[in-house]
Structure formats: structure tokens, C-alpha cells
Structure 1
Amino acid sequence: MTTPDKKADFSGVSANVETTEQKVEKADFSGVSATVDSTEEKVGEQTYTVAKGDTLSHIAKQFYGKSSKWNAIFDANRDQLDNPDKIQPGQVLKIPAIDD
């Protein structure tokens, strides 16, 4: 005698899965601090925006105390200066640190 095939009854089955991820408390960054040093202090280079009437000698006198150091500024700005006598108001020049 054969019995009729019964279908599986899953109506009483239940499951509960919260998570498979590890539970981790949130990181506490309240005691973290940071400081940023100026690259100017590290490299020793500054910038100067040329004003009307400026010359490299005048700028050198202002930054180095000697107008004869103008060529240090000129050399540092060869990428934008072809002639040391032709600086323009509004130009931003690199003022390199120099050894006295």
C-alpha cells in the first residue's frame, strides 16, 4: 500500500538572526589632537605680492635687509620672470630663505 505524498509543512518554523557582524563600540576620538606646522617654517620660503613702484632691490631690502640680495628673489622666480627689471604689480613672488 502506498501513502500519498505529503508536502512539508513549515508553518510552525521561525528563525531570528540579529547580525553576523561583530558588535563594536564606536571609536572615541575625544582625546585626539593634531597640529600642523607651516610649510613656510619648514622650507623657509615666503611669498610677496608686488605693489606698484616695487623693484627686486626694494623687496630684497625689505626681506633680507640688503638690496644687493635681489638676485636670490630673481633666481627663485625664473619660472615667471625673464627680466629682473620687469616685475608687475599683482605678481606673487617667492621669497626664498637665504644664508647671510
Structure 2
Amino acid sequence: MDRISEKGMITSMQALVSSVRSLWEQQNVEQSEQLIAIREREKWNKILERKTLEINKEADTLNRKLALVPGRQSLLPTAQTYQAHFLEANSVQLGAAEST
């Protein structure tokens, strides 16, 4: 085997340490960015959930009012309408979560 000079060994070790440190710092940055993205997604999910609840409450209130008006029962939205809106809201929510 060839002998490596002490200076060459020191230079090689310093290069290794520098590379490891750089990779470690890069990993820390990536993990921080992932945590930020997760927090943002959770925040938006909560906002979407609150908005969905508000819309459902408003729809229920309107349906109760419409039920009191004679001859308007046929105009009430069906359960299928609510289901379609719910599925649409979920797909928007999932699409937003996947894009982050």
C-alpha cells in the first residue's frame, strides 16, 4: 500500500468533516421547511373545516326557514346536494394538502 502523508491525511479528513457538516446543515434546513409546510397545511385545514361548518350551519338555517314557507318544500336541497358539496370541499382540501 502507498503511504499517505500526514498533510494529505489531514486535508482528506478536513474535507470529509466539511462535507458531513454541509450535508447535516442541508438536512436541518429541509426538515425546518417540512415542519413549516406541515404547520401551514394544518392551519389551512382548520380554516377549511371552520368554513365548511359555517356554510353547513347557514344552509341548515336557510332550509329551516324555507320549510316554514308554504309550497317551498319541493325547493329544498336534497341530501345528494350536500354530499356533492362535501365531496367537492374535501377534494379541494386534499388538493391543497398534496401541493404542499
Smaller-chain TM-score bracket: under 0.3
Higher helix share: 2
TM-score (norm 2): 0.28
Higher strand share: 1
Greater RCO between the two (CA within 8 Å, min separation 6)? 2
TM-score (norm 1): 0.28
